[in-house]
Amino acid sequence: MLFVFGLIVFIYLLGRLAGYSTARRFSLVVGLLAAVALSHLVLPIHNPLLIITGGTFAGWLIALGLALGGAGYLSILQRLKSAANAKSDENTPMDKPLFSNSELDRYARHIMLREIGGPGQKALKQAKVLVIGAGGLGAPALSYLGAMGVGTIGVIDDDVVENSNLQRQMIHTDGRIGMPKVFSAKEAIEAQNPHVDVRPYHRRLTEADAEDLFADYDVILDGTDNFETRYLANAAAAKAGKPLISGALSQWEGQLSVFDPANGTPCYQCVFPEAPAAGLAPSCAEAGVSAALPGVIGSMMAQEAMKLITGAGQSLKGEMFFYDSLYADTRKIKLRKREDCPVCHAL
Please check whether residue 328 lies inside any domain of the structure.
yes
Distance CA 127, CA 12 (A): 39
- 185-232 per-position pLDDT tens digit: 999 999 999 999 999 999 999 999 999 999 999 999 999 989 999 999
Q: For residue 114, what pLDDT band results from cuts at 50, 70 and 90?
A: very high
Q: Is residue 343 part of a domain?
A: no
Same domain, 151 and 99: no
Domain membership of residue 31 (yes or no) is yes
Kindly report the average pLDDT of the chain as a whole number: 85
Q: Are 233 and 328 found together in one domain?
A: yes
Give me the pLDDT at residue 286, please.
Answer: 74
Question: Same domain for 225 and 174?
Answer: yes
**Inter-CA distances, 25 with 1, 10, 74, 106, Å:** 20, 11, 11, 21
Q: Looking at the structure, tell me whether residues 220 and 284 fall in a common domain.
A: yes
Q: Supply the pLDDT for residue 62.
A: 65
Domain contains 185: yes
- Domain assignment present for 346: no
Within this chain, do residues 100 and 134 fall inside the same structural domain, yes or no?
no
Tell me how far apart the alpha carbons of residues 137 and 292 are, in angstroms, rounded to a whole number.
11
What pLDDT does 283 receive? 73
CB 301 within 8 A of CB 245: yes
Q: Determine the average pLDDT of the residues in 156-179.
A: 96
Are 147 and 225 within one domain? yes
Burial 67-101 (b: 16+ CB within 10 A, else e): bbeebeebeebeebbeebbebbeeeeeeeebbbee
Backbone torsions φ then ψ of 330, nearest 5 degrees: -130, 155
Are 9 and 104 in the same domain? yes
Question: Do 322 and 278 reside in the same domain of the chain?
Answer: yes
Exposure of 169 in the CB half-sphere (CA atoms within 13 A): 28
d(CA 29, CA 23): 10
pLDDT at residue 104, rounded to an integer: 93
pTM: 0.74
Q: Which of 109, 138, 157 is the last residue of a domain?
A: 109
Are 151 and 267 contained in the same domain? yes
Do residue 234 and residue 170 come from a single domain?
yes
pLDDT digits (tens, 9 = 90+) for 237-271: 999 999 999 999 999 999 999 999 999 999 999 99
CATH code of 225's domain: 3.40.50.720
Query: Looking at the domain assignment, is residue 206 inside a domain?
Result: yes
347 falls within a domain: no
| Beta strands 329-334 and 319-324, pairing class | antiparallel
Asked if 242 and 220 count as a contact pair (C-beta separation under 8 A), the reply is yes
Look up the domain containing 52 and give its range: 2-109
Element (H, E) at 244: strand 244-250
Instruction: Measure the CA–CA gap between 134 and 185, rounded to whole angstroms.
Output: 7
Cα(21)–Cα(29) distance, integer angstroms: 13
Q: 203 and 296 share a domain?
A: yes
Tell whether 239 is covered by a domain.
yes
On whether both 15 and 47 belong to a single domain, the answer is yes
End residue of a domain, out of 43, 78, 109: 109
In this structure, what are the phi and psi dihedrals at residue 337, rounded to the nearest 5 degrees? -65, 145
Which among 61, 80, 109 is the end of a domain?
109
Tally of domains in the chain = 2
Within 43-157, residue ranges assigned H as helices are: 48-53, 57-86, 101-106, 108-111, 117-126, 138-148
Q: How does pLDDT run across 7-62, given as a tens digit for each residue?
A: 555 555 665 666 666 666 666 666 656 666 666 666 566 656 555 556 565 665 56
